[in-house]
Amino acid sequence: MIRRIINKALQQHDITIDEANILINSGDDCFDELIQAANTLTRRYFGNKISMCAIYAAKTGPCSGDCAFCAQSAHHNCDVASVEISALNENEILENAKELWQSGVNRYSLVTSGENLTDAEFDRILSIFQRLNRETEINLCASLGSLTLDRAARLKSVGVSRYHHNIETSRSYFPQICSTHSYKDKINTINIARQTGMEICCGGIIAMGETPAQRVEMAFALKELNMDCVPINILNPIQGTRLECQKPLNVDEILRTIAVFRLILPDKVLKFAGGREKALGDMEYSGYVAGINSLIVGNYLTTPGKSVNQEIQNLEVAGYEVTFDRK
């Protein structure tokens, strides 16, 4: 049964939710075959090329949302330094973006905490994007929480070509993760951003206590929404959050999940995002064999990552080619 499902995917036929659930719950005896199938699909659509993006934390600090995983939630007791948009150094951001572009980073995103920006905050972010668009060659992304159609159009007008807004988890598990906004709110923002012609970067976090079936549910939701890029985060339990004691997934379960995502989303960019370093350790680069073909480099919002040079060296040793597109 498992081999029949794998062969169906390799023959470029969509697998069903029931079939994906069989794969994600499959045993060790079919693990290697599943990973190899995912690798075959990744190479078919993307070769051995890996693209890189980076983020800049343009606003950090207490957020009114009660997302169970987030160190920036005002509902948690975490020591997170606050950065205000009014205090940003535009020249520093521009130099950072130029340096990353020269290093091979394809996309650059300004990311802010909070559900909504004030008008003054949004205008300042817009001004920075205008300069980035005018003075650099890097492709621009934004992750600014909820959007109105007017704000989305203004972002597009200053060169932002992709909007990032994770659904975080499946619709059925979302109420266990957040109560201050809804899954429907997430979808609404995604639809608004898409109306302006921006690409959509949207994924979620695994290992938050969801079932394997709920991971499959999330993957099919992303497929239905036809996302352009799907970031896969792995929970990094942070002290002071509601999920600080969450039991981690084992490495094989993480890799199996990535492989099933690839079989569900064969031609979509699957991006390694936060938590991979801690969750996978020395096995991190097995994620590329399992279906990953993109990654976020550098630091995340509140946790450190590896340097760009470190990532590139490791990727090249593993036989991958870093690639990027001019805007």
Q: What is the pLDDT of residues 205-260, one digit of tens each?
A: 999 999 999 999 999 999 999 999 999 999 999 899 999 999 999 999 999 999 99
- Fold of the 2-322 domain: TIM Barrel (3.20.20)
Question: What is the Rg, in whole angstroms, of the alpha carbon atoms belonging to the chain?
Answer: 19
Instruction: Flag whether pLDDT at 318 surpasses 90.
Output: no
Q: How far is CA 110 from CA 54, 232, 301, in A?
A: 9, 19, 10
SS3 82: coil
55 confidence band (pLDDT: 50, 70, 90): very high
Please measure the distance between the N-terminal and C-terminal CA atoms of the chain and give it in whole angstroms.
Answer: 45
SS3 285: coil
Q: 115 near 181, Cβ under 8 Å? A: yes
Cα–Cα distance for residue pair 39/249, rounded to 1 Å: 21
Q: 206 near 187, Cβ under 8 Å? A: no
State the pLDDT at residue 224: 97
Domain boundaries, the chain: 2-322
Q: Cα–Cα–Cα angle for 320, 7, 15, nearest 5°?
A: 95
Q: 23 near 5, Cβ under 8 Å? A: yes
Cα–Cα distance for residue pair 292/132, rounded to 1 Å: 28
